[in-house]
Amino acid sequence: MPTPTDKTHRQQLRLQLRQQHRTALLTNLPLTTEQLAELFDYLDARLSTHCCDDTLGHTRCFAAAQDLAFAPLQQFLQQHGGHCDCEVLANVADAYATIL
């Protein structure tokens, strides 16, 4: 049976791992976390009325409206499984849900 010291140590390790995971997710983020949340909201609204056309067309429109460089955003999203607008919501939003 774990001692109270063991339990405290495990809690500290879990906290450190969560913080390391959060830091890793935020590294090289080409937009702010607020903008990322806005992108997810924008895509959710757009895709509720328009089908995904297997491109990042809606993401490109969002980037233009926010005055964001699209190429770094596209690269970031694709590295996280977002190769089209619906995959951004399915894969990237899921991966970043814990930090937004």
For residue 58, being part of any structural domain is answered with: yes
User: CA–CA separation, 98 vs 74, rounded Å?
Assistant: 21
For residue 34, being part of any structural domain is answered with: yes
For residue 64, being part of any structural domain is answered with: yes
For residue 13, being part of any structural domain is answered with: no
For residue 80, being part of any structural domain is answered with: yes
For residue 22, being part of any structural domain is answered with: no
Model confidence over 29-82: pLDDT tens digits? 999 999 999 999 999 999 999 999 999 999 999 999 999 999 999 999 999 999
For residue 75, being part of any structural domain is answered with: yes
Residue 73 pLDDT = 97
Q: Domain range for residue 67? A: 30-96
Task: Give me the number of domains the chain comprises.
Answer: 1
In this prediction the pTM is 0.80
Higher pLDDT, 4 or 68: 68
By the 10 Å C-beta count (0-12 exposed, 13-18 middle, 19+ buried), 71 is classed as exposed
Higher pLDDT, 21 or 98: 98
Residue 21 pLDDT = 67
> Cα-Cα-Cα-Cα dihedral of 92, 72, 57, 52, to 10°?
-20
